[in-house]
Amino acid sequence: MDSATELMKVTGVVQRRPQWTRLLIWSTLGSTIGTAVPGGYCMAIINNPAVHMRSWCELTLLQNYGWQLTPAALDTLWALIVSIYLIGGVLGSACAGWAANRFGRRGCLLLSCSLMLLAAFGFFCCRLLQSVEVLLLCRLVVGLGAGLITTCLPMYHSEIAALTQRGTLGVCCAVGFSIGILLAQILSMDGLLGGEQHWHIALSFYAVFIVICFAPFRCYAESPKWLYIVKEQREKALRMLGRLRGSKFDLQQEIGVMEQEAAGKCRSRSLGEVLKDKRMLLPLVLLCAYQGGQQLTGCSSIFYYSADLFRSSGLSPIAIEWLVLAVGNVNLLMSLLNPLLMANFNRRTLMLLSSFLCALLMFAFGLLVKYSSMIPWLTYGTIASIFLFLIAFQLALAAMPSFIGTELFEVPSRSVANSLGNQVGWGCNFLVGFLFPTMHTLLDFWVFILFSFFSLLLFLLTKTYMPETRGREVSVVAELVSRGFKSKVR
């Protein structure tokens, strides 16, 4: 406490609210554009050029191995190319907790960028090498990097932010992914980089964002909480905290919270310890349900297969391109409102509204898909329901799962809990990405009714067990959910 008192004498106590310091803004923008944007870019980049890439895969396998793929085999191969990115995400999330504690939050982001740059080089070369295997391997590697990002980046942002800034910074990962998705949809248009001769350049173009944003990597802040609690470098943590909050901000309360979290439990907890702790049951259920349920609401089917869905409605290729681009624009515009929404409205209220509307709109979409073949003008209704679903999805389901773990778990359990939640999220994303074409063929419109059911389950879970976390210290929230399903969270 002596070091804290000394720091207070130097800085002075003038402001109650933390400043948006240059270091905080620089670290947030650089880390988001350099990691989350490439992650979202890689998720959506193969949607538009799918026709050219499928033809290339078919021709390459015929030339290299003499394999003549049947339509069903080609569909399976394409589903694997789409979803192996998600397998990488599961694996990356599995080791993200260890990496975030071992190398620091900032070091974990650098590791993810290194993997993604390696994959970008492979994407650029796969067409020149005439190798489907390189394409698959690079999709796996870039997924590893994205898995690290989705676990570590929200944690990093929440730990460099003050309590009043946490909601705004907590959604930056989701916003970055939305920006990446839109950029991928623009650059992969047939008239730009999505054509038959240039799709491999489109796949690797995200490397530009990584190189630009991580050139000044050493100028970014490290998490004061990681330095203080995990590494026990107290003096360094306090200096970093002072730089992040501004010279006139009273650090006493925040230092006291860190000391309270560090007291008797500065050692990071393992996965086994977290799973055995009965107090962790409800927060783990909430985190995993939100991470997995986010994917099972049907959002992934829109991002991966919206072009195919529009094509099956009989729309022209040009109309499909512009509709896919419009999907990305609506998704981004709504995601840009997330910082404002999270800063001014309660998390619980937003999640209840988002999950209920998603259930209703996906149910409507399923019915419209069923009857649009009989009544052609209902196709406009299916298109409208997709856009309305994206608006409802961005109210909370898009952003909250990425950072809610930082508001439910204290620092010793946080990294491993976020890692587990992200594994569930990436795993469900893989199931939807890989199985959706088959499920759509077998179940027809019922697959969308199934997505609607999962949104309804999230609504009921939130109404019954989700405490309000906005404006509350993590220790208070952790106590509210410490009695498992007997907890009284209101």
339 pLDDT more than 80: no
Q: Would 234 be classed as within a structural domain?
A: no
Residue 99: pLDDT over 80: yes
Is residue 229 in a domain?
Answer: no
* Residue-wise pLDDT tens digits, 389-401: 988 998 888 888 8
129 found inside a domain: yes
Q: Give the DSSP letter of residue 215.
A: T
Torsion of CA 165, 169, 171, 176, to 10 degrees: 160
Considering the domain boundaries, does residue 167 fall inside one? yes
pLDDT bracket for residue 8 (50, 70, 90): very low
Amino acid at 264: G
In a domain, 390, yes or no: yes
Range ranked top by mean pLDDT from 58-62, 217-221, 335-339, 434-438 = 58-62
Q: What DSSP string runs through 389-426? A: HHHHHHHTTTTHHHHHHHHHS-HHHHHHHHHHHHHHHH
What's the rounded Cα separation, in Å, for the pair 114 and 87?
Answer: 18
- Which stretch of 109-113, 153-157, 321-325, 457-461 has the lowest confidence by average pLDDT? 321-325
Q: Which whole number is the average pLDDT over 102-119?
A: 90
- pLDDT, one tens digit per residue, over 15-71 is 456 678 888 888 898 999 999 999 989 988 887 788 889 999 999 999 888 888 888
Specify the higher pLDDT residue, 253 or 134: 134
Handedness of CA 42, 428, 435, 358 (dihedral sign): negative
Question: If you average pLDDT over residues 314-337, what whole number do you get?
Answer: 76
Q: Count CB-CB contacts under 10 A for residue 326.
A: 16
Q: What average pLDDT score do residues 303-321 get?
A: 66
Domain extent at residue 372? 20-222+269-485
The yes-or-no verdict on residue 354 having pLDDT over 90 is yes
Please give the pLDDT value at position 233: 82
Confirm whether 490 is domain-assigned: no
pLDDT score of 315 more than 70: no
CA separation for the pair 53, 47 (Å, rounded): 10
More confident residue, 168 or 113: 113
Q: Please name which of 288, 283, 302 lies closest in space to residue 408, comparing C-alpha atoms.
A: 283
Token pair 């950072």 is at which residue?
403
Lowest average pLDDT, out of 22-36, 73-87, 210-224, 250-264, goes to: 250-264
Contact of 485 with 283, CB cutoff 8 Å: no
Per residue in 409-422, pLDDT (tens digit) is 876 777 788 888 88
Question: Residue 7: what pLDDT?
Answer: 45
How is residue 52 written in tokens? 């050219």
- 3, pLDDT greater than 50: no
Q: Residue 439: inside a domain, yes or no?
A: yes
Q: What is the CATH number of the domain that holds 130?
A: 1.20.1250.20
Residue 467 has pLDDT above 90, yes or no: no
- Give domain status of residue 243, yes or no: no
Q: Could you give the number of structural domains in the chain?
A: 1
Q: pLDDT at residue 124 above 90?
A: yes
Is 60 exceeded by the pLDDT of residue 264? Answer: no
Average pLDDT over residues 203-224: 88
* Average pLDDT of the chain, as a whole number: 82
Residue 317 has pLDDT above 80, yes or no: no
Confidence at residue 125, expressed as pLDDT on a 0 to 100 scale: 92
Q: Does the pLDDT at position 356 exceed 90?
A: yes
Picking from 315-319, 330-334, 404-408, which range would have the lowest pLDDT averaged per residue?
A: 315-319
Q: Which of 131-140, 154-163, 420-429: highest mean pLDDT?
A: 131-140
